[in-house]
Amino acid sequence: MNLSNLENYKSHILEYGFTVINGIFSKEEIEQITSILLHTDTSKENFRKSEDLFAVRQFLKEVPEIKSVVFNENIKRIIKDIFGGKYFVVKSIYFDKPETSNWYVAYHQDLTISVDNKTDLPGFGPWTTKQNQFAVQPPLNILENIYTIRIHLDDTDENNGALKVIPKSHRKGIYRPETIDWTVEAEEICNVEKGGIMIMKPLTLHGSNRTTNGKRRRVIHIEFSDIELPETLQWSEKMNR
């Protein structure tokens, strides 16, 4: 993969809120990631299992041996050239949408960050707590600063839950899905090849449909920021690469 000029991808993200770059992981690297996942103990509380979805919260903490494969030279280059040299990991999740999944996700923005405790700070709220994990909606500038990388371990299209997005919606602040004006907005499906990535701004309205083609969809979702939170608060998954 020739990543000599990432400016086009960067400008596409800034204007439209997302981009797709295929060929970031080799077949061998995807096999390596899959092998590590196969041999992971899934009995811990951060592992969620149902017929429609298998998910791992705090993925890079729970499966630390995967980091060296996930942060290959291509990903490091993308983080440095598109995001910026000071960006670090702030959140990671693994999703496995099985072949028969009826799981679908309605249009939404990613409005919360994961933090280490609950504390009263101006501009932060509302708060949620799940399994001793704290999430909060931060001030808008923090959300606008985040980049998300979604690494695809399977070919993904509209028939097995590829993300659908509303281009440019990331530039409209908090945009409630029930207020989407379809006379002015257009939907775009983000097909991604196995070994490819989608990069997205979390304020981009996005959702996904049920699986209809009997094909699996596995995704590693990692969020990055270069903002330090107020002193009394820390990113719960802060991790320098």
Q: What is the Cα–Cα distance from 188 to 221, expressed in whole angstroms?
A: 20
**Inter-residue contact 107 to 228 (CB < 8 Å):** no
Interval 76-97 mean pLDDT: 96
Q: What local confidence, expressed as pLDDT, does residue 124 receive?
A: 97
The pLDDT tens digits for 100-140 are: 777 789 999 999 999 999 999 999 999 999 777 899 999 99
232 found inside a domain: no
In the numeric block, the tokens 């295929």 are attached to 22
Task: For residue 89, give every residue at least 6 positions away whose Cβ sits within 8 Å of its Cβ, in sequence order, or none.
Answer: 60, 222, 223, 224, 237, 238, 239, 240, 241
What is the rounded CA–CA span in Å between residue 79 and residue 147?
A: 9
Q: Is residue 237 part of a domain?
A: no
Q: Which residues on neighbouring strands pair with residue 191, listed in sequence order? A: none
Give pLDDT, residue 241: 63
Report if residue 36 sits inside a domain. yes
CATH number at residue 197: 2.60.120.620
Domain assignment present for 230: no
Structural domain contains residue 233: no
Predicted local distance difference test score (pLDDT) of residue 51: 75
CA-to-CA dists, residue 106 to 37, 47, 142, 181, angstroms: 28, 23, 23, 15
Is position 156 within any domain?
yes
Give this prediction's pTM: 0.95
Length of the chain: 241
- The structure tokens listed for 6 are 């990432």
Per-residue DSSP letter, 171: G
Ordered alpha helix ranges (H), 127-173: 140-145
Q: Is 180 helix (H, G, I), strand (E, B) or coil?
A: coil
Task: Give the model confidence (pLDDT) of 29-72 as tens digits.
Answer: 999 999 999 988 878 778 888 777 788 999 999 999 999 999 99
Overall number of domains in the chain: 1
Contacts with 237 (C-beta within 8 Å, 6 or more apart), sequence order? 58, 60, 61, 89, 90, 91, 92, 114
Residue 235: inside a domain, yes or no?
Answer: no
Burial class (CB in 10 A: 0-12, 13-18, 19+), 234: middle
What pLDDT does 2 receive? 65
Residue 186 lies in a domain: yes
The parent domain of residue 82 ranges over 7-225
